[in-house]
Amino acid sequence: MPRYSYIAKTLKGRTETGIMEAKSEHELANILRQEGCILIKTNLEEKGLKKGFSISIPFINWIPLSEKIMFTRNLRVMVSAGVSLPRALNILAVQSKNKKFKNAISKIKEEIIQGKSFSETLEKYPDIFSELFHSMMKVGEETGTTEDVLKVLTSQMEKEYQIRAKIKGAMIYPAVIVLAMLVIGIVMLIMVVPKLASVFSELNVELPLTTRMVIYIGNFLAKFWYTVPFMILVVVVLLRLLPKTKSGKLVFDTLVLKLPIISPIIKKTYSAHTVRTLSSLIIAGVPIVRSLEIVSNSLENLYYKKAITQAVKQVRKGGKLAEALKGREDIYPNLVFQMLEVGEETGETADILKKLAEFYEEEVGNATKNLSAVIEPVLMLIIGAVVGFFAISMIQPIYSIMGTL
Task: State pLDDT tens for residues 184-212.
Answer: 888 888 888 888 888 877 777 778 888 88
Sequence letter at residue 135: S
Q: Is the dihedral of CA 321, 327, 329, 334 positive or negative?
A: positive
d(C-alpha 17, C-alpha 24), whole Å: 17
CATH match for 57-191 among 1.10.10.10, 1.10.3720.10, 3.40.50.2000, 1.20.81.30: 1.20.81.30
| pLDDT of res. 405 | 57
DSSP string, 82-113: T--HHHHHHHHHHH---HHHHHHHHHHHHHHH
The low-confidence residues of the chain, meaning pLDDT below 50, are 46-60
Query: What's the pTM value of the predicted model, to 2 decimals?
Result: 0.66
What integer pLDDT is reported at residue 74 of this predicted model?
Answer: 92
Helix axes 349-369, 262-284, angle to 10 degrees: 150
pLDDT tens readout for residues 292-341: 888 888 888 899 989 998 999 888 888 888 888 888 888 898 888 889 88
State residue 404's pLDDT score.
Answer: 61
Quickly name the fold that domain 262-369 has. Receptor-associated Protein (1.20.81)
What are the structural domain ranges in the chain? 3-50, 57-191, 262-369
Q: If we measure between CA atoms, which residue out of 382, 385, 387, 389 comes closest to residue 261?
A: 382
Q: CB of 138 within 8 A of CB of 119?
A: yes
Q: DSSP state, 61?
A: S
Burial of 211 (0-12, 13-18, 19+ CB in 10 A): buried
